[in-house]
Structure 1
Amino acid sequence: MHIEYFNYFYQVAKVKSISKVAKQIHISQSALSQQIQKLEDSLGFKLLERSNKGVTLTEMGEIVLKYSENIINTYDKMLSELEHGNEDTNTVHMEACPSISNYALPCSLYIIKEKFPSHKYELITNISSKIKDNVSNDISDLGFVYKKSDDPNLNYYKVGANRFVLVSSYYYNIPKEITVDEMMEYPMISMIVQDEVKDEIGNLLNKSNCSYDDMNILFQLDSIEAVKSSLHKKHGVAFLPYIAIKEELYNKHFKIINIKDFDVNINVFMVTKKEGHPSKAVEEFSKTFKEIGEKSFC
C-alpha cells in the first residue's frame, strides 16, 4: 500500500470531488479514481460513494479519513527527519490554539531562543483536539491547549490562564456594564474553532438559567482577526482573549463590557507525550518554559 493512496483519498474526501482534485494535481480523472480503488481493494472496504454530483464518504470511509491525516503527517515528518538527519534534533515542533499561538507564545519563543540559540522552533496554529492527537501520534513534540483529555498517553502541565472578555467597538452603543440577560439581546460574533470557550460560556450561562443556544449569534468566523474586523465595523459584540486585544484597548478602538458575575477564565496547559523519547532540544524547551511560564507571554 502506497502513502500516495491515502493522500489522494484524503484530498478527494475533503473536496468531495474526484474531478476537482484530478485537475489540481494534474492527472486524469480515471487515473485518480484507480488510485483510490487500489486503496479500497487493499483495505477491503468501499470508502466512497460516487455519483454525478461528486462523492460522499461511506461509514468505512469516515473511519479511514479520521486516520489519513495523521498517517500523511507522520510520513512527512519521517521524510523530513531523514532528509535533515541530526539537524532536525535541534528543531522543536509545537502546536497551539489560535490565541496562544498568535498572541502569547511569540515572546516566550524569543526568550527561550536567546538561551538556546542553536534551537529551531516551528509553531503551528491548530485546534485543541487535533493538537492532542498530533502530540500523541508523534507528529508534534508538544502543544498548548485549553483543556485536558482522558488520553493516558499524554502529560499536562498548567502554564497559565487565558481571560476572555466581552468586547465591542469603542463607539458601539452598549453600556460598560450589563447583566447576563441584557447580554443575550446583543448581536454576538463567535468563533467557529473556540469549542472550549463555548463550553465555558455555556456553563456560566446555565447558572443564570440561560444557554449558549439562546444567544443572539449574528454569525461565526474562523479567526480572531476576522472577529476584530467585524467589531471595528460595529456589527456587534464578541468574546475574545484579553491578550489579543490589548493594543486595541490602549488605542481606544475597543472597549470591554463588564458582565455581572460572569468571568471567563480558561486554563492553558502544555501537553507532551508520556512515553516519548524527546530530543535534548525538546527537553530543554519544556524545562525552561515551565520555569518562565505565563510571565513570558506577550
Structure 2
Amino acid sequence: MHIESLKYFQEIAELKSISKVANNSHISQPALSQQIQKLEDSLGKELFIRSNRGVKLTEAGEVVLKYADNIIRTYNKMLSDLNEQDSQEIKIEGEYTIATYCLPCAILNMQFKFPNHKYNLVAAASDKIEQDVLSDICEIGFTTHPAQAENLHSKEVINEKVVLISPPAFDLPEKVELEEILDHKFVILKEDCIIKENFKEALADLGYNFSEIEIISRLDSTEAIKTLVRKGYGVAFVPYNAVRDEFSAKEINVSRIIDYELDYDIYMINKKAEFLSADVKNFIANFKKLGKHICY
C-alpha cells in the first residue's frame, strides 16, 4: 500500500469527489482513479461507491478512513524524525486552550532555564493527544484529564485558575458566590470541556440544572467568547491565562468564585521512562520542578 494513495483516499472521502481532488492535486482523473483502484486491490476491498453524483464510502471504506489519518501522520512523523535527527526537537501537543494560553508561558520558562532545548508545540483535540503519544507522533501531551492507556504515565503539572469575566459596566466584585451571578446571561464554549464540567457540577450542588441558566451563545473558541464579553453581551468562565492582557488593559472585569472550586489541573502525559529518549526524560523531570503555578 503506497502512502500517497492513502492520502488521496482521505481527500476523496472528505470532498466526496474524485474529480475535485484530481483538480486540486493537479493530477488527471484517470490517473487518480487508477491510484485508488490499486489501493482497493491491495486491501482486497471496494472503498467507494461511485455514481454520477460523486462517491461515498463503503463499510470497508469507513474502516480504512478511521485509521488513515493516524497512518499518514505517523508516516509524516517518521519523515520528520529522519530529516531532523540532529535537531533533538521535542514535539509537544496540548488541548487547544492549554496550547494557546498556558503552555507558551510554561515552555518559555523552560526555554530560559534550558536554552539548548528545542520545542515544537501543536494544539490538538483532546481525544487525539493520547493516541498521538502512543503512536510517537508527539513525545509529550498536556490534557485536562489523566491518560486512560495503561502504558502511559500521567502527572499533574499545572493548576489553571478559572475566572468569571464580565464587562466593566456590570461592576461585579472581585470575589463573588456562584449563586449571585446566575441571573446573568452566559457565553460558553460549544464543545464539552473541563470548565463546563466543573460549572455543571457546582450548579447541581446548588440544586440548579445547567439548562436553567440563560446561555446567549455557544462558541467555538475562547477568543470569540472574550469578544462577546468585551462588547457587553454577558459573562463567561475562562482560564485566567486567556484574559490576562484584557484584564490589564481594563477591557474586562475578572471575578473569582469563592464558594466553589472551578480551577483545574493540567496533566502531562508521556510513555513510561524505558521508552523515552534522554532529552525527553530531562524535559519531563525539569518541567515538574517548575511548580504548578509557573504562569502567574
Question: Is the pair's TM-score, using the shorter chain for normalization, greater than 0.5?
Answer: yes
1:260 and 1:293 map into 2 onto residues whose CA distance is: 23
Range 202-211 or range 231-240, more displaced: 202-211
* Equivalent residue in structure 1 for 2:200, among 199, 202, 205: 202
Q: Which residue of 2 aligns with 1:9?
A: 9
1:20 and 1:212 map into 2 onto residues whose CA distance is: 44
Instruction: Mark the CA change 1:179 to 1:103 in structure 2 (over 3 Å): closer, same or farther.
Output: closer
1:174 and 1:46 map into 2 onto residues whose CA distance is: 63
Q: Which residue of 1 aligns with 2:115?
A: 117
Which amino acid letter does the alignment assign opposite residue 83 of structure 1? N
Q: Which residue of 2 aligns with 1:230?
A: 228
Q: Which residue of 1 aligns with 2:124?
A: 126
**Contact kept? 2:195, 2:238, Cα under 8 Å:** no
* Equivalent residue in structure 2 for 1:140, among 128, 132, 138: 138
Instruction: Mark the CA change 1:239 to 1:14 in structure 2 (over 3 Å): closer, same or farther.
Output: farther
TM-score, normalising length from structure 2?
A: 0.86
Query: Which deviations, in whole Å up to 9, do the C-alpha atoms of 1:129-187 show, x marking residues without a partner?
Result: 1111100111000011100232112100110222322322223x47544754962x544
User: Over the residues paired in the alignment, what is the CA RMSD in angstroms?
Assistant: 2.7
Query: Once the 2 structures are TM-superposed, how far is the Cα of residue 267 of structure 1 from its aligned partner?
Result: 1.4
Asked if 1:246 corresponds to 2:244, the answer is yes
1:77 and 1:54 map into 2 onto residues whose CA distance is: 32
**Contact kept? 1:106, 1:297, Cα under 8 Å:** no
Structure 1 unaligned segments of length 5 or more: list them: none
1:83 and 1:12 map into 2 onto residues whose CA distance is: 29
* Equivalent residue in structure 1 for 2:289, among 263, 288, 291: 291
Instruction: Mark the CA change 1:149 to 1:285 in structure 2 (over 3 Å): closer, same or farther.
Output: closer
Secondary structure of the residue aligned to 1:294 is coil
Instruction: Mark the CA change 1:22 to 1:246 in structure 2 (over 3 Å): closer, same or farther.
Output: same
Query: Which deviations, in whole Å up to 9, do the C-alpha atoms of 1:271-293 show, x marking residues without a partner?
Result: 00127632222111111101113
Query: Once the 2 structures are TM-superposed, how far is the Cα of residue 269 of structure 1 from its aligned partner?
Result: 0.5
2:47 and 2:214 map into 1 onto residues whose CA distance is: 39
1:258 and 1:115 map into 2 onto residues whose CA distance is: 32
Query: Which deviations, in whole Å up to 9, do the C-alpha atoms of 1:188-223 show, x marking residues without a partner?
Result: 332245533333333333323444445443333332
Secondary structure of the residue aligned to 2:161 is strand
Instruction: Mark the CA change 1:110 to 1:213 in structure 2 (over 3 Å): closer, same or farther.
Output: same
Match runs of 1:1-298 below 5 Å: 1-85=1-85, 87-88=86-87, 90-171=88-169, 173=170, 175-176=172-173, 177=176, 179-180=178-179, 183=182, 186-257=184-255, 261-274=259-272, 277-297=275-295
Q: Percent same amino acid at aligned positions?
A: 39
Query: Once the 2 structures are TM-superposed, how far is the Cα of residue 29 of structure 1 from its aligned partner?
Result: 3.5
1:102 and 1:27 map into 2 onto residues whose CA distance is: 37
Q: In the comparison of the two structures, how many residue pairs are matched?
A: 294
Instruction: Mark the CA change 1:29 to 1:147 in structure 2 (over 3 Å): closer, same or farther.
Output: same
Structure 2 unaligned segments of length 5 or more: list them: none
**Contact kept? 1:159, 1:269, Cα under 8 Å:** yes
**Contact kept? 1:178, 1:257, Cα under 8 Å:** no
TM-score, normalising length from structure 1?
A: 0.85
1:60 and 1:25 map into 2 onto residues whose CA distance is: 25
1:49 and 1:198 map into 2 onto residues whose CA distance is: 41
